């Protein structure tokens, strides 16, 4: 499970726990030596105490056995606690990368399923490391030692133990073959089930209003049935082979008892060999039985390891570029071609234009013309397939996300707010945010008075997705978040879609404020009122720039009537709505 063919994030995390694994291996060695206590105790009782009828010898053996059992129990408890901490250490080392991949994956086309799979994979790895599976793996190398001692008792007992071991190895191999495909299908169906449940939860209002809940429920039931069936098949295989190995080990133990009795009858062994060899053979095969019992969790952890390794390989850690000065002059778009991450289609092709400090650009065009895709490229959410977006001559990829973020303001079509206070959302959850800057951003968005009317003002807590606020309030808080810190480039995607007349007036003033302080504002507009404070307009159609220039000239061109008998040369503003 830990071999990925090259150094990996997970491999490096476990490498840092190397000494802990060495300690577990040493404790496993001592534990397995101490497991011999029962066999040798019974051997001494039957061969020494009973023939001599010596009570002091029996008492001495009992005291010694109790002491050894106590040390064994202590070592096993310590080993279990160390393995739990190894799991926690792996989680702490990798959880940041998992979160980073979870967030960046959808932007790079590198994360499928419901988005929560990497987190569940990390949980699976931690649970496996903290469980009994690793202990069984550490005990497996000691099976030959037990077998050697069985040969010392008598060659026939050793042969019987080897035969039992071979049977259990075969059972383990068959168990792996039988559970591999069901375990894989279980993971796939689990992703589908979670994704469908999550999208249904997020769209509960639409399901209720449109009467779709029953139909989506049936679809979820089918996916859930496939998941349960795959899990049932995996559990059946593990349970069946586990029961087979358990029954076989019990039968083998009885067989060894019978073999020991036969050897005693023929004076080839002592009476103590009967019990001692039975206990020893049972112990020799116990690690294999325990490994079979934990094989399902081992197989799931192995798949989680491979999925996380592949995800980290697709989404390596972002480098930290050399720090650059804050942009203050220009935005240049150089023949960019944009497509959705992971998709083989182009939505914006060869778009070029330039803006200087203090200018405002409105982007209009019909639906599906690529306006929102262009907005995502301008703020670095989507990486252009060709071309570059530059701020003061530097391409966006020359900044890290953390370094570029303060210079950008972005308001998406669907405003998402996060659990926390209104002030935390406006301040982008910045540690130790200056309250003055929060109020300044709210004032620039003309939302300060509205926030003061909330139950606890700026300390009002909002739920997931901004629950507790209306759509218009969420959009205006999102605008304040976009304006926080006076970013140089502000990109607003349909910022007035949920605003009333008062909100639109506030939006116009906010855009004018960005321009007055020397920033650049780009607005994706579907309603003419959003263009009031802008001086430039760009028209997109079919992913290509149709027109770009001063607002009055472009709008005059857009709003002209079509030539009789011919379609209009560019989309009208009404079409763009």
pLDDT at 407: 92
Provide the β-strand partners of residue 489.
408, 520
C-alpha to C-alpha distance for 3 and 187, rounded to whole angstroms: 21
Question: What number of other Cβ atoms are within 10 A of residue 181's Cβ?
Answer: 13
**Residue ranges per structural domain of the chain:** 9-313, 330-576
The residue among 382 and 320 whose pLDDT is bigger is 382
* Burial (0-12, 13-18, 19+ Cβ within 10 Å), 437: middle
Q: Which helix (H) or strand (E) holds 85?
A: helix 55-108
The residue among 272 and 231 whose pLDDT is bigger is 231
Superfamily of domain 9-313: ABC transporter type 1, transmembrane domain (1.20.1560.10)
**What is the rounded average pLDDT for all residues in the chain?**
82
Say if residue 226's pLDDT is above 70: yes
Q: Per mean pLDDT, which range of 311-325, 402-416, 506-520 is the poorest? A: 311-325
Query: Helix, strand, coil proportions of the chain in percent (round to 5)?
Result: 65, 10, 25
Q: Helices 501-516 and 471-483: crossing angle, nearest 10°? A: 10
Question: What tokens were used for 180?
Answer: 């591999």
What are the pLDDT digits (tens) for 180-205? 788 778 878 887 787 777 777 767 76
Q: Where are the alpha helices (DSSP H) in 407-547?
A: 422-426, 435-444, 448-452, 471-483, 501-516
> Can you tell me the mean pLDDT for 541-551?
90
Q: Do the strands 348-356 and 461-462 form a parallel or antiparallel pair, or are they unpaired?
A: unpaired
Residue 232's closest CA among 173, 290, 186? 186
pLDDT at 561: 46
Q: How confident is the model at residue 518 (pLDDT cuts 50, 70, 90)?
A: very high
What are the pLDDT digits (tens) for 89-113? 888 888 888 888 777 776 766 555 5
Contact partners, residue 504, CB within 8 Å, separation at least 6 = 496, 529, 530
High-pLDDT (> 70) share of the chain, %: 92
Cβ atoms of 406 and 484 closer than 8 Å: no
Cβ atoms of 329 and 505 closer than 8 Å: no
Strand order in the sheet with 394-395: 348-356, 330-338, 386-391, 394-395
C-alpha to C-alpha distance for 86 and 385, rounded to whole angstroms: 42
C-alpha to C-alpha distance for 351 and 338, rounded to whole angstroms: 9
Question: What tokens were used for 547?
Answer: 């027109």
C-alpha to C-alpha distance for 533 and 520, rounded to whole angstroms: 12
Name the residue with tokens 């149709």.
546
Contact partners, residue 429, CB within 8 Å, separation at least 6 = 418, 420
Residue 422's closest CA among 389, 396, 448, 384? 448
Say if residue 166's pLDDT is above 50: yes
Provide the β-strand partners of residue 333.
353, 389
C-alpha to C-alpha distance for 520 and 358, rounded to whole angstroms: 6
Cβ atoms of 210 and 143 closer than 8 Å: no
C-alpha to C-alpha distance for 369 and 79, rounded to whole angstroms: 61
What are the pLDDT digits (tens) for 139-161? 888 888 888 888 888 888 888 88
Cβ atoms of 288 and 249 closer than 8 Å: no
Give the DSSP per-residue string, 350-381. EEEEEEETT-EEEEE-STTSSHHHHHHHHTTS
Q: What is the reported pTM?
A: 0.68
Exposure pattern of 464-499 as b/e (b: 16+ CB <10 Å)? eebebbeebbbbbbbbbbbbbbbbbbbbbbbbbbbb
Q: Write down the CATH number for the domain with range 330-576.
A: 3.40.50.300
């Amino acid at each position: 499970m830990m071999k990925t063919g090259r150094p990996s994030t997970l491999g490096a995390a476990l490498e840092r726990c190397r000494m802990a694994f060495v300690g577990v291996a040493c404790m496993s060695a001592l534990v397995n030596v101490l497991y011999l206590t029962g066999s040798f105790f019974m051997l001494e009782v039957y061969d020494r105490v009973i023939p001599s009828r010596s009570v002091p010898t029996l008492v001495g053996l009992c005291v010694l056995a109790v002491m050894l059992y106590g040390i064994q129990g202590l070592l096993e408890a310590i080993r279990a606690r160390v393995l739990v901490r190894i799991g926690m250490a792996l989680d702490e080392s990798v959880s940041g990368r998992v979160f980073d991949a979870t967030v960046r994956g959808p932007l790079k086309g590198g994360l499928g399923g419901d988005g929560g799979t990497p987190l569940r994979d990390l949980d699976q790895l931690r649970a496996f490391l903290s469980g009994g599976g690793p202990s069984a793996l550490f005990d497996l190398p000691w099976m030959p030692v037990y077998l050697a001692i069985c040969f010392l008792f008598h060659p026939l007992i050793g042969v019987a133990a080897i035969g039992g071991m071979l049977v259990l190895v075969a059972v383990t191999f068959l168990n792996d073959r039988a559970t591999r495909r069901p375990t894989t299908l279980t993971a796939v169906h689990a992703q589908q089930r979670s994704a469908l449940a999550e999208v249904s939860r997020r769209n509960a209002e639409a399901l209720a209003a449109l009467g779709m809940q029953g139909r989506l429920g049936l679809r979820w039931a089918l996916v859930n049935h496939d998941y349960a069936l795959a899990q049932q098949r995996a559990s059946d295989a593990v349970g069946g082979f586990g029961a087979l190995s358990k029954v076989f080990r019990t039968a083998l133990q009885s067989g060894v008892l019978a073999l020991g009795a036969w050897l005693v009858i023929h004076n080839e062994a002592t009476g103590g060999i009967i019990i001692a060899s039975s206990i020893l053979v049972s112990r020799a095969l116990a690690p294999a039985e325990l490994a079979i019992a934990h094989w399902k969790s081992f197989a799931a952890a192995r798949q989680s390891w491979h999925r996380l390794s592949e995800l980290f390989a697709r989404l390596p850690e972002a480098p930290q570029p050399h720090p650059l000065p804050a942009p203050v002059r220009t935005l240049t778009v150089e023949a960019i071609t944009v497509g959705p991450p992971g998709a083989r289609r182009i939505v914006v092709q060869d778009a070029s234009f330039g803006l200087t400090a203090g200018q405002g650009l409105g982007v209009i065009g019909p639906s599906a013309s690529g306006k929102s895709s262009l907005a995502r490229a301008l703020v670095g959410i989507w990486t252009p397939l060709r071309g570059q977006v530059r701020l003061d001559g530097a391409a966006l990829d020359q900044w890290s996300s953390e370094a570029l973020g303060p210079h950008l303001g972005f308001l998406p079509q669907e405003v998402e707010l996060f659990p926390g206070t209104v002030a935390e959302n406006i301040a982008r959850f910045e540690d130790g945010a200056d309250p003055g800057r929060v109020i300044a951003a709210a004032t620039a968005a003309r939302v300060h008075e509205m926030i003061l009317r909330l139950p606890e003002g700026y300390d009002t807590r909002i739920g997931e997705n901004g629950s507790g606020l209306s759509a218009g309030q969420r959009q205006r808080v999102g605008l304040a978040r976009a304006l926080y810190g006076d970013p140089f480039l502000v990109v607003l995607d349909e910022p007035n879609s949920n605003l009333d007349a008062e909100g639109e007036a506030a939006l116009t003033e906010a855009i004018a404020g960005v321009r007055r302080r020397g920033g650049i504002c780009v607005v994706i507009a579907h309603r003419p009122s959003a263009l009031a404070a802008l001086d430039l307009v760009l028209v997109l159609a079919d992913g290509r720039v149709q027109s770009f220039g001063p607002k009055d000239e472009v709008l005059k061109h857009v709003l002209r009537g079509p030539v009789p008998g011919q379609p209009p040369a560019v989309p009208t503003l009404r079409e763009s709505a």
